[in-house]
Amino acid sequence: MAAGPRTGAVSTEPVVVTVPALLDGVRLDRAVSLLTGVSRARAAELVAGGRVRVAGAEATGRSQVLAEGVVVEIELPPEGPILPLADPGVDLEVVHADADLVVVDKPAGLVVHPGAGRREGTMVSGLLARFPDLAELVAGGLCEPERPGIVHRLDRGTSGLLVVARSERAYRSLTAQLAARSVDRRYQALVAGSVDEDRGAVEAPIGRSTRSPTRMAVSSEGRPARTTYRVIGRVDRPIDATLLELALDTGRTHQIRVHLAAIGHPVVGDDRYGASGPGGRRARVGGTLLVPGRLFLHAARLGFEHPATGARVTWRSPLPPDLSSVLADPPAPPG
């Protein structure tokens, strides 16, 4: 099944418009959005899917500039699943693939799936180019169109391992294992300051921040969340910091970042949650050590029961060079 911008769409009567003076010199995607009322991202998908014709010819691209008097034909499919565009140019390291699942070692800077402010160039687009059968999970009603096969995610600034389902049995099995907290997810993080206890746990509910809806926070009205940690090493250069191995007992949005910031040890590079420590003091998070937006947070180990065989499978990923270069003696992935 070929991946594309739509699944199971049925043709309808096209919208035919003669470009008015007001739209002379306007980009095609913006004009399509204005003429039909669809979002700019949806308009771009219609152009890329061959559903827009300009002066009788298929549009050459979303940035094509329109001229007054030209006839534009727009084919609007019925509302339904609209898949992200497949993009073979997305940099993606697949460490394992079989008929049921794909394990990816995601680089920092790559967004997992489309969302607010990002429609193209995501990991999902790269996966659809390599594994177009992911679209069948959307057609079967198992996944949202923007998240074919996605059962968990990593933040844009976080690198490391995550698994994507390719089959219905894998999707159901992996989501069930995540709900049962039997998936082994281990991270390595460099955090600001010296963590006193060699081992510990942070158990605090996490919910939407009342001050900023785009942020998460420890909240009595949030969902239960628990993060355990083990100290791998303490460093005093280039900053005073502690290297931790962390395990997620739950999977809340930004859980590690929120929990570590809450105990006064934000992840190095985390300007979002590490901007201030307890009492409003500034927390030194070492943002200059990494490129903007990069967190010293890496998903180093991933283990679960294979949906097809029931056997326990595990993958490990060492710290990538941009993180290991910060440490004089970087550790191996957790065993």
Catalytic residues: 155
State the CB neighbour count (10 A cutoff) for residue 80.
13
For 251, other C-beta atoms within 10 Å of its C-beta total 15
Q: Specify which residues 333 forms β-bridges with.
A: none
Half-sphere exposure of 163 (CA within 13 A, CB side): 29
Distances (CA, A) of 191 to 23, 153, 158, 188: 52, 21, 14, 10
Helix, coil or strand: residue 186: strand
CB of 210 closer than 8 Å to CB of 159? no
DSSP string spanning 63-107?
A: TPBP-TT-EEEE--PPS---PPPP-TTS--EEEEE-SSEEEEEEP
Q: Is the dihedral of CA 47, 48, 49, 53 positive or negative?
A: positive
* Burial (CB count within 10 angstroms: exposed 0-12, middle 13-18, buried 19+), residue 296: buried
Joined together, the tokens standing for residue 284 give 């030194």
- Strands 241-248 and 206-208 turn out to be unpaired
